[in-house]
Amino acid sequence: MLKEEEVEAIIEAIYQRYRLDFSNYERSSLKRRLSKAMYKFKLDSAVDLWRKMLYEPNFIHELIDTIAVNLTEPFRNADLWKFLRRKVLPLLFDRPQIHIWHAGCATGEEVYSFMILLKEINLLHKAHILATDINPKALEVAHQGKYSIKASEQFQQNYFIAGGIHDIRRYCSITSHYVVFDKIQQEAAALHFRQHNLIQDPIDGCFDLIFCRNVFIYFDPVLKMRVLRTFYEHSHPESLLVMGYYDSLPQNHEEYFELLYPKHKIYLRKE
For 223-235, the pLDDT digits (tens) are 899 999 999 999 9
Q: How far apart are CA 86 and CA 24, in angstroms?
A: 37
What domains does the chain contain, in order, with CATH numbers? 4-67 (no CATH), 78-269 (3.40.50.150)
Q: Looking at the DSSP assignment, which residues form a beta bridge with residue 130?
A: 101, 192
pLDDT of residue 114: 96
Q: Would you give the distance in Å from CA 158 to the centre of its chain?
A: 19
Whole-prediction pTM value? 0.80
* Pairing of the two strands 98-103 and 127-133: parallel
Q: Has residue 12 got a pLDDT over 90? A: no
Q: How far apart are CA 13 and CA 81, in angstroms?
A: 41
| pLDDT over 90 percentage in the chain | 51
C-alpha distances (whole Å) from 190 to each of 95, 99, 101, 241, 255 are: 16, 9, 12, 20, 31
Q: Has residue 212 got a pLDDT over 80? A: yes
Pick from 246, 252, 260: nearest CA to 215: 246
Pick from 14, 53, 31: nearest CA to 218: 31
**What is the DSSP secondary structure assignment for residue 214, as one 8-state letter?**
S
* Pairing of the two strands 235-243 and 207-212: parallel
| Start-end of H helices in 41-178 | 46-55, 59-67, 78-83, 109-120, 136-144, 149-161
Q: Would you give the distance in Å from CA 98 to the centre of its chain?
A: 19
27 vs 5, more confident: 5
| pLDDT over 70 percentage in the chain | 97
Q: Has residue 94 got a pLDDT over 70? A: yes
Arithmetic mean of pLDDT over the chain: 89
For 27-57, the pLDDT digits (tens) are 877 888 888 888 888 988 888 888 888 888 7
- Count CB atoms within 10 A of the CB of residue 76: 18
